[in-house]
């Protein structure tokens, strides 16, 4: 998917949220934050470091 397609998907999603979740943006943002915290308990950077370390270990094994 090219950059233009990703931008179109982003803007379409933004318009759908604005249309159907008017005044619910903060709730949606809160849910997103909770999902990120649950999915990445060490944080996104910590998760990326773990993946990089695992890949480096797999390549050297």
d(CA 6, CA 59): 32
Question: Does any domain span residue 9?
Answer: no
Give the integer Cα–Cα distance in Å for 39 and 59.
26
pLDDT in tens, 4-16: 777 788 788 778 8
- What tens digit of pLDDT does each residue of 16-38 get? 877 887 778 788 778 888 887 88
Give the residue numbers spanning the domain of 32. 25-61
Establish if 5 belongs to a structural domain: no
pLDDT, residue 58, reads 73
Specify if 53 maps to a domain. yes
- Angle at which helix 3-20 crosses helix 25-39, to 10 degrees, equals 120
The domain tally of the chain equals 1
Q: Is residue 19 part of a domain?
A: no
Structure pTM? 0.46
Please give the structure tokens belonging to residue 45.
Answer: 């950077």
Asked, for residue 7, whether it belongs to a domain, the answer is: no
């Amino acid at each position: 998917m090219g950059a233009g397609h990703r931008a179109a998907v982003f803007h379409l999603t933004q318009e759908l949220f604005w249309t159907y979740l008017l005044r619910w943006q903060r709730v949606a943002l809160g849910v997103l934050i909770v999902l990120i915290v649950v999915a990445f308990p060490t944080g996104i950077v910590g998760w990326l470091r773990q993946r990089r370390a695992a890949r480096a270990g797999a390549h050297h094994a």
